[in-house]
Chain A
Amino acid sequence: MPLIEAHGLTKQFRQAVKEPGLVGSLKHFFTRQYKDKLAVDHIDLSVEAGESVAYLGPNGAGKSTTIKMLTGILVPTSGSLIVDGLVPHEKRQQNARKMGVVFGQRTQLWWDIPVIESFNLARDMYEIPAARYKANLAEFTELLGLAEFMNIPAGKVSLGQRMRADLCMALLHEPKLLYLDEPTIGLDIAVKDSIRKFIHRLVEERGTTVMLTTHDLGDIEDICNRIVIIDSGKIIHDGGLADLKDNYARDRVIHFQLARPPASMEPICAGLPACDLHADGLSLSVRFDRFEFAAGEIAAAVMPHVEVIDFRIDEPEVEDLIRRVYLGQLSLAAPEPTADTPESAVAAEA
């Protein structure tokens, strides 16, 4: 049985419609106008134990709302949701015992008292046996480098330190499920990297199931094996990272560094009829469909005509992919995606 199982899960918010200013407030006071906002719109989602899911989507897509329903903080408007055999909002405390959650935007640490005491509070709140607590605290302190600010109040540590401490706090009770809502927001590259490594390790070694929302696509490549994309409350993609790349990123670009400018493009073009070629001085790039050609075939077709000093292959950028999904340039519902991006159209001119 899946750990998370949602069917037709929906959350509708009622937002007050209010004109600005005092007059608007007064008017609202008497007329009380509301508009319904479907934040999460009949989503189906099933997550097996041990999976690490990246939950992506543009701002306002419904990611945080979904996480809040999964954690039992929000009551769904309709649909069914079972997490590890429980309906989260009905058995909120029982559900809370089995999960950890980090909201990047707000801390769970006690603001005014030293970080270590927040951890001690977690020990008591989750009734963690003393030995387990000690072992976990030692391990996380080591891995996340918490020692230097352990005795400083959470309100006085830096954002990166706070986030690491929050992560520790969420994991001391060894939850089988970890929800991360933008865990790397506002962090520098080094801290991001250490957090990603840490979560990766958690997934690998402890088999923790992770669901992560982020706008930083570095997070997903390091951590996740599955990608769910939500837009306007609806799930528009659900699959492996590799699937996404296979289906929607068939293009590869191979760049050659040449010793001399090519004498003529004719013979090269003739050898690669289905590809886009782009030559510019000493560089030559070929955009090809990786299901039609192997990189080696491209190289074999180019090599006889020019002297190649060096070459590299561009992987499709996940970021670019998802941006295109967000912008609606890539329809994930369509069976055959259009390979024509603006760049390749320009390249074809050359």
Chain B
Amino acid sequence: MRGLNKYFSIAKASLEVIFVYRAGFAFNMIGTVFYVVAMFYLWQTIFLGKPGALGGFTWPEMKAYLIVAFILNSTMTWFDEWTMGSDIREGRVATDLARPIDFQLKRFAEAIGPVPFELVSALGIGAVVAVVFGGIALPADPVHLALFIVSAALATLLKFAIIYCVSMVAFWTTGMEGVQNARMAVQNIFSGALIPLVFFPEWLRGFASVLPFQGMISTPALTYLGAMDGPTTAFMIGTQAVWVVGLMLFGRLLWRSAIKAVTINGG
């Protein structure tokens, strides 16, 4: 694995950059805290006066779902279509191409670098919020916890793969902000970040199940809660993995044909 050493160094450098922009990072975090608190109050109101379960969720379980969603949404926030798109449009990728590195792996290293720090911050904030709101449901047993960690890791890879693919649009259009907003809107709905997918009408749920987005929030959150039986959990995590591999390869393919067709701007 000596060949991967360079990507480790890139990840490390990328983590360092987040400390340079710590103010921006802090504001980002504060924003998501407000968001998660708002979600808590919203769902609290919905659960109010309903002592039993709603859509299969008890209130402590729902709280756990929201915290898991918050943590997953708080990682890999420094990698987005806009940044990568401007690197492409302004020809900065030329620099990457002039080096003995794989473009996708380099981008991945950059994206993953800050994740440990983001994770620690989000876990801390999540714990405080959970305590303030009277505690959350914990995984039933270590097996579910372990499966959750696997699923959460896959969710992060999936996020990278999706953004990477979507970023390739920058080779053909300038409006990366719009593209990014569209991706986030679709993702927020179909990942289950706003509303767990069980609350969807049948047809919409069917639609969500054939998209990759459910693997970003819904699958890891339900795994955490142990809400799915064994075979279903295995199937859902398997689906996540298939999407990760598929989209990673698709991203490579897109990059390769894009670079051939359009090539770098400016000079």
Contacts and interface: CB of A to CB of B under 8 A. Distances in A.
A68 interface: yes
A125 B103 CA distance: 12
Given A68-B264, A75-B263, A110-B13, A126 B100 contact: yes
A153 B20 contact: yes
Nearest to B16: A113
A74 B264 contact: yes
B16 A71 contact: no
Interface stretch (B2-10, B215-223, B246-254): B2-10
Interface in A92-127: 92-94, 96-97, 99, 101, 103, 105-106, 108, 110, 112-113, 117, 120-121, 124-127
Nearest to B2: A127
B9 A121 contact: yes
Given A75-B259, A93-B101, A96-B98, A125 B267 contact: no
A117 B14 CA distance: 11
**Interface range on chain B (Cβ under 8 Å from partner):** 20 to 34
B102 interface: yes
A103 B98 CA distance: 11
B contacts with A: majority SS: helix
A153 B21 CA distance: 13
B98 A65 contact: no
Nearest to A25: B174
B26 interface: no
B13 A121 contact: yes
B97 interface: yes
A74 B9 contact: no
A169 to B, nearest CB: 10
Nearest to A92: B97
A249 to B, nearest CB: 30
B184 interface: no
B162 to A, nearest CB: 26
A71 B97 CA distance: 8
Most buried by B among A73, A75, A153: A73
A208 interface: no
A50 B8 CA distance: 35
A96 B100 contact: yes
B258 to A, nearest CB: 11
A64 B20 contact: no
Contacts of B20: 112-113, 153
Contacts, number: 77
A73 B100 contact: no
Interface stretch (B49-57, B87-95, B148-156): B87-95
Contacts of B98: 71-73, 96, 99, 101, 108
B13 A73 contact: no
Contact of B99 (A13, A96, A105, A112): A96
Interface in A1-35: 13
Nearest to A108: B95
A108 B92 CA distance: 9
A76 to B, nearest CB: 10
Interface in B170-184: none
Contacts of B95: 103, 106, 108
Nearest to B21: A112
Contacts of A126: 99-100
A68 B13 contact: no
A125 B9 contact: yes
A125 B100 contact: yes
A194 to B, nearest CB: 24
A258 B41 CA distance: 98
B13 to A, nearest CB: 6
A260 B98 CA distance: 64
Contact of A106 (B8, B92, B102, B259): B92
A62 to B, nearest CB: 9
A92 B5 CA distance: 19
A121 B259 CA distance: 25
Contacts of A101: 98
B92 A112 contact: no
B100 A103 contact: no
B91 A106 contact: yes
* The 7 residue pairs across chains A and B that have the minimum distance between CB atoms: A64-B267, A124-B9, A93-B100, A96-B100, A124-B6, A97-B100, A73-B97
Given A94-B100, A106-B92, 18 more contacts: A68-B267, A72-B97, A73-B94, A75-B259, A93-B100, A96-B98, A96-B100, A97-B100, A106-B91, A108-B98, A113-B16, A124-B8, A124-B10, A125-B100, A125-B101, A126-B99, A127-B2, A127-B6
22 contacts: A68-B94, A68-B264, A72-B98, A73-B98, A75-B259, A75-B263, A93-B101, A96-B98, A96-B99, A103-B95, A110-B13, A112-B17, A112-B20, A113-B17, A113-B20, A120-B9, A121-B6, A124-B9, A125-B6, A125-B9, A125-B101, A126-B100
Interface of B: 2, 5-6, 8-10, 13, 16-17, 20-21, 91-92, 94-95, 97-102, 259-260, 263-264, 267
